[in-house]
Chains A and B, each alone.
Chain A
Amino acid sequence: MNRRPVFLITMLAFGFAFFYIPILSMMVYSFNASRLATVWGGFSTKWYVSLLSNRQVLTAAVLSIKIALLSATFATILGTMAGIALARFRRFRGRTVFSGLVTAPLVMPEVITGIASLMLFILMAEWIGWPAQRGFTTVTLAHITFSMVFVTTIVHSRLVQADAAIEEAAMDLGSRPWQVMRDITLPVIAPAILSGWLLAFTISLDDVVITNFTTGPGTTTLPILIWSKVKLGVTPDINALATITVLIVGFGVAIAGWLLNRAEKRREADAHLAYQENR
């Protein structure tokens, strides 16, 4: 087993080239002076300037972030509850239906979820007069619904891995079930809740299809704005926008990765130390 797996390493190299060449090419062309997005015409940052002075883009970005913050927060609360319910309450009426409802949105084609949500909102408006018109509220409601199940999946798998004995220990030491939940379970799954929130936030920020169906006039999120622009073809200012997005996400992921790596190293060092001391 000492031989280097040459074939696998080659495939990894090809795979990552496939992943990153389009993105890198897009980033390079965001500095293209030419209006023709695919022909190089010298270096320029003018697309960044025009992008950052574009009111429409800024408004859309702010709206997207508002919706993402709100829907991620609600999705995290509901999704965490569902995760706890599935992992810790083994028997309740309708558990089978419930676990089906929690998995189905994960694999449902977005177009179907989109038109289904839209029809619901329209019929609700017909029958109970609410929501009177589609926009911020309906988009947020739809985003909460389809991102909460991702939170559920993360929280559930974390809870299942966690040792149930620590909860039993807390109960043995006199805590009531609700106190166990508050003092033991929630702190244990806190990292899962945080990554669930982050995932819900990105999903909302990135969504085109469901937003496209559930939004109304005057509510244009950033992806919807990009969608309407790129349908017409490649434009240099979208290259600039994409570059900014990739850099922000890349920076965030790099920092998160660095923090995780450091935490892991420290944990390993601690474990090593503890082991040495116990000898």
Chain B
Amino acid sequence: MTGTEAGIPAPAASVAAFARPAPPLPGAKVPPFIRIKGVTKRFGTFTAVDGVSLDILKGEIFSLLGGSGCGKTTLLRMLAGFEAPSEGRIFIDGQDMTDLPPYERPVNMMFQSYALFPHMSVERNIGYGLKHEDMTASQRRDRVREMLDLVQLTEFSHRKPHQISGGQRQRVALARSLAKQPKLLLLDEPLAALDKKLREHTQFELMDIQDKTGTTFIVVTHDQEEAMTLSSRLAVMDKGRIMQIGTATEVYEYPASRFVAGFIGSVNAFEGTVRGVSGDLAEIAVPELGGAVTARAVPGLGPGQPIALAVRPEKIALSRSRPEGVNVIAGTVRDLAYFGKDSLYRIALPSGRVLSVNSVNARRHGEHERVADWEDAVWLSFDPAAAILLKD
């Protein structure tokens, strides 16, 4: 298992500065609210989830992030009770849930397709789960009204699901799954069916509702931006395993492996060899960059060791004149794309390797005054702290 708990030991101060105000960080003496212990799920010969262990705290928004087929949805379905783990146990609030059927778990789910009952009105959809609660009819009505209010759908309460918009349907699904006040809410790709604008708006709405209700959320998503904005912590999954767990900043700035570095954001990755270590800096020979570069060292480096070096495009500076300092490389602009707030440059190095470089368009300029143009000779440079060294 790769860095389940700790990942790469990161300078805590820099992380805390960026992290979303979250419940007590891992390591603090709070018992985990949800404990997934060595859970494996096999379908025939295929292993969908492979020995996952995970602790989640009360009140967190925790994201499971990964591509299709990485096992995130299967893990979610095991939490809901739709699939039984082949191995391992699942605890919620100290209780072993592994063998309970879905209808006896204090867990509710918001489905990717929303799974609204097409033959019931919005109101009846939201109230459906309350039928099984021990409450009076008027209490039920009040709760439904409260939920309608929470998602601002009071005036649509008598409509059927096909008579409201996609965004409204999403809110009905959310209200329905929150109506029973579950200890844990599972959200399967909650925003995938919405268009871009609505998605951004809804993200903040979800966070707001989570704040109000204090429910623990586990979100499954393939969208890294969604995971990073929504969650207090996230787990990156691949092939049924957890590759890294951490806050958005930890995972982005200190990826534990080549997979995570490549999966979250984009990255220029190179193969190299350690030449030597002095203090907290390491010298790495990278043939594709035409020589040696300096990077912030990680523990356990020795000369001659093969290692990967990764630099994010936005951490590379681009200039026409040769800058001072270390890690300076010459190149030629092969291609450029203008996105408005920034531009993406594709820079060809003498070795033939092409690098991606992001440059923020901080100044307003015209067509012919940009930093560099097609076929221009330019200089690239990056800070040793920006270079990520990856042993895995």
Contact = CB atoms under 8 A, between A and B. Distances in A.
Interface of A: 1-2
Nearest to B77: A1
Contacts, number: 3
B83 interface: yes
Nearest to B84: A2
A141 B82 CA distance: 57
A52 to B, nearest CB: 50
A2 B82 CA distance: 8
Nearest to A1: B82
Interface residues of B, number: 3
Nearest to A3: B101
Contacts of A1: 82
Contacts of A2: 83-84
A10 B83 CA distance: 24
3 contacts: A1-B82, A2-B83, A2-B84
A1 B82 CA distance: 6
Contacts of B82: 1
Interface of B: 82-84
B104 to A, nearest CB: 14
Nearest to A2: B84
A151 B34 CA distance: 59
- Nearest 3 A/B pairs, CB to CB: A2-B84, A1-B82, A2-B83
Contacts of B83: 2
Contacts of B84: 2
A245 B329 CA distance: 84
A1 B101 CA distance: 9
B259 to A, nearest CB: 16
A2 B84 CA distance: 8
B109 to A, nearest CB: 13
B98 to A, nearest CB: 13
A18 to B, nearest CB: 32
A39 to B, nearest CB: 52
B69 to A, nearest CB: 11
A1 B77 CA distance: 11
A278 to B, nearest CB: 13
A1 to B, nearest CB: 6
A1 B84 CA distance: 9
B80 to A, nearest CB: 11
B375 to A, nearest CB: 34
Nearest to B82: A1
B90 to A, nearest CB: 15
B147 to A, nearest CB: 27
B293 to A, nearest CB: 33
A1 B81 CA distance: 9
Nearest to B81: A1
B280 to A, nearest CB: 40
A2 B83 CA distance: 7
B17 to A, nearest CB: 39
B40 to A, nearest CB: 16
A163 B159 CA distance: 31
A1 B83 CA distance: 7
A99 to B, nearest CB: 26
A36 to B, nearest CB: 54
B74 to A, nearest CB: 13
B42 to A, nearest CB: 13
B41 to A, nearest CB: 11
A2 B100 CA distance: 12
B39 to A, nearest CB: 15
B101 to A, nearest CB: 9
A41 B83 CA distance: 57
A276 to B, nearest CB: 12
B252 to A, nearest CB: 25
B313 to A, nearest CB: 24
B223 to A, nearest CB: 19
B105 to A, nearest CB: 14
B127 to A, nearest CB: 24
Nearest to B102: A1
A45 to B, nearest CB: 47
A226 B84 CA distance: 57
A1 B103 CA distance: 11
A29 to B, nearest CB: 45
B66 to A, nearest CB: 15
A2 B98 CA distance: 13
B324 to A, nearest CB: 45
A245 B84 CA distance: 48
B141 to A, nearest CB: 31
B82 to A, nearest CB: 6
A279 to B, nearest CB: 10
B65 to A, nearest CB: 19
A3 to B, nearest CB: 9
A2 B85 CA distance: 11
A2 B102 CA distance: 11
